[in-house]
C-alpha cells in the first residue's frame, strides 16, 4: 500500500487539526520507501519496538505516542503517530476504552467523555479490573452508587474538576497523583496509562484496512508491581 494512502486514511479519521499545539503527531520519520508491505502497531516507540519492527521485516511503525527526539539509528524505518488528534476524534482512544467496557458515550467535552448508567462502585471496579488488574481507586466521600462516569484515557487527572462540574460522580483515567487523589470529591479510578490506551492499536489497524500486512508490538506497562509480578 502506498504510504500516502495510509496517512490519508488515518488523517481522515483523526484530522491533524485536532492535535494540541504542543503535540508532535504526524510523520516522525519518512524514508524514500513508498510501498508499505508490513506495519507494526505500537503504543510507544522505543529501542525495543524498533528491534521488533526490523526483526519482523516491517516497513512502517504506527504509534499512538509521539517522539520529541529521534535517534539517528531509528531513521531507517517510517514512523507515523496520531496522538492528541486520536484522543479527541470521535471513535478515538477514550471512545474505544468505553466501548470495550460495554458502555456507550452520552456526552463529549473535547478530551473527556461521559457515560450515564446505574451501577455501584464495587460493581464498576470489578468491570474495570477485568481490563486492568492493577486498578486502584479513591473514594473519599464514601460514594456507593454511580450514575454518570467521566473517562479520559491516558493521563487525564487534570480533568477531574471538569468531570465533577459536568455532573459526574466518578472519573476513569491513568497516572493519578497523590494530592489530586487526596482532594477529589468524586470517585477516581486509575486503571493505568498503558492499560487505558492499548486498545487503540486495533483501531489504527482497522483504519488502515486491507492491502498491507499487520503486526502488533509486544508491549507492557513499564511498572513492576511487587507481589504480582515480582522483579528479577
Element (H, E) at 84: helix 84-88
What does the pLDDT read at residue 226?
A: 77
Whole-structure pTM value: 0.94
Cell (9 digits) for 118: 446505574
Distances (CA, A) of 110 to 107, 148, 164, 214, 218: 10, 17, 15, 30, 30
What does the pLDDT read at residue 227?
A: 67
User: Average pLDDT over the chain, rounded to whole?
Assistant: 95
Question: With 0-12 CB in 10 A as exposed, 13-18 as middle and 19+ as buried, what is 109?
Answer: middle
**pLDDT of 121 strictly over 60:** yes
What does the pLDDT read at residue 229?
A: 54
The proportion of the chain whose per-residue pLDDT surpasses 70, expressed as a percent, equals 97
**pLDDT of 231 strictly over 50:** no
* Chosen CATH of 88-196 out of 3.40.50.12780, 3.40.1390.30, 3.30.160.20, 3.30.70.100: 3.40.1390.30
The proportion of the chain whose per-residue pLDDT surpasses 90, expressed as a percent, equals 94
pLDDT digits (tens, 9 = 90+) for 141-159: 999 999 999 999 999 999 9
Cβ contact 83:26 at 8 Å: no
What does the pLDDT read at residue 224?
A: 85
The full set of domain ranges for the chain reads: 3-87+197-216, 88-196
Q: Hey, what CATH topology would domain 3-87+197-216 get?
A: 3.40.1390
Amino acid at each position: 500500500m502506498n504510504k500516502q494512502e495510509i496517512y490519508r486514511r488515518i488523517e481522515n479519521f483523526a484530522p491533524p487539526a485536532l492535535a494540541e499545539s504542543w503535540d508532535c503527531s504526524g510523520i516522525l520519520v519518512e524514508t524514500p520507501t513508498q510501498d508499505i508491505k508490513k506495519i507494526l502497531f505500537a503504543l510507544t516507540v522505543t529501542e525495543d519496538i524498533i528491534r521488533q519492527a526490523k526483526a519482523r521485516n516491517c516497513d512502517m511503525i504506527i504509534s499512538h505516542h509521539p517522539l520529541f527526539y529521534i535517534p539517528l539509528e531509528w531513521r531507517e524505518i517510517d514512523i507515523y503517530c496520531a496522538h492528541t488528534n486520536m484522543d479527541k476524534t470521535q471513535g478515538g482512544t477514550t471512545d474505544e476504552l468505553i466501548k470495550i467496557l460495554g458502555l456507550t458515550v452520552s456526552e463529549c467535552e473535547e478530551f473527556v467523555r461521559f457515560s450515564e448508567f446505574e451501577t455501584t462502585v464495587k460493581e464498576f471496579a470489578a468491570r474495570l479490573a477485568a481490563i486492568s488488574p492493577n486498578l486502584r481507586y479513591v473514594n473519599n466521600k464514601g460514594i456507593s452508587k454511580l450514575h454518570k462516569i467521566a473517562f479520559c484515557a491516558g493521563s487525564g487527572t487534570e480533568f477531574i474538576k471538569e468531570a465533577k462540574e459536568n455532573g459526574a460522580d466518578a472519573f476513569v483515567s491513568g497516572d493519578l497523583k497523590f494530592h489530586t487523589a487526596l482532594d477529589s470529591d468524586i470517585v477516581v479510578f486509575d486503571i493505568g496509562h498503558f492499560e487505558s490506551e492499548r486498545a487503540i492499536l486495533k483501531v489504527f489497524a482497522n483504519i488502515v484496512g486491507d492491502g498491507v500486512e499487520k503486526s502488533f508490538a509486544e508491549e507492557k506497562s513499564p511498572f513492576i508491581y511487587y507481589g504480582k509480578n515480582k522483579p528479577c
